[in-house]
Homo-oligomer: A and B are copies of this chain.
Amino acid sequence: MSPEARPSAARDRILDTAFRLFYAHGVRSVGVDRIIAESGVAKATFYKHFPGKDDLVVSYLDKVDTAWSGQLRDAAAAAGPDPRAQLVGMFDALTTACRRDGYRGCAFINAAAEYEAGTAVHDRTVAHKDAVRGWVRGLAVDAGARDPDALARALTLLLDGGLTSGTLDAAPDAPTVAKQSAAALVAAA
């Protein structure tokens, strides 16, 4: 088993702490020392599980990817079997996310803002966005959209816009407007 995926209570604690701190304060603002201290782990243990900080950041993004993709799928499924309803329903995940306490935008967009193209962190972000768009495209195909690629991109554009506006804006109606706009675009496709 690869050293990085080796399960361990200490590893979980590190990752949970990193998840909390990286999201709340940004990746570069949080030092390895702080994560070590707050996860109650020895420094040597940390570096046994994660060769370097960047590896931890990528694992953090893996964790976010799992969580967010699941929320999108759940929200879509909750809208019933109709793919068109699902394309609109997935925006409920956005509403829920923006309402959450300590919401601070999309973890991937935030992380990518701190790393340049070609770095592992940036690549992981691109892969995540591609995966989400691919999944949305699948729904668009099922929905019989004339141009599934364009519809998928338009909806993910609204999603990404909503994810960032949700934290950069006092008014809480960004998710609502995003969903309404999505409904209009889906209906027209």
Min C-beta distance of A91 to chain B, whole Å: 11
Interface string of A92-126 (1 = CB under 8 A from B): 00000000000011001111111111000000011
Whether the Cβ atoms of B153 and A174 lie closer than 8 Å is: yes
With contacts A29-B28, A114-B113 known, is A168 near B125, CB below 8 A?
yes
Which chain B residues lie closer than 8 Å to A162 at the CB level?
Answer: 157, 161
Q: Are B113 and A105 in contact (CB under 8 A)?
A: yes
Contact B154 A157 (CB under 8 A): no
User: In the complex, A13→B164 CA distance in Å?
Assistant: 32
Which secondary structure dominates where chain A touches chain B?
helix
Contacts of A180 in B (CB 8 A): 150, 154
Pair B169/A181 contact, Cβ less than 8 Å: no
Q: For window 141-185 of chain A, which residues contact chain B by CB distance below 8 Å?
A: 150, 153-154, 156-162, 164-165, 167-170, 173-174, 177-178, 180-181, 184-185
A residues sitting closer than 8 Å to B (CB atoms) are 24-26, 28-29, 104-105, 108-117, 125-126, 129-130, 150, 153-154, 156-162, 164-165, 167-170, 173-174, 177-178, 180-181, 184-185, 188
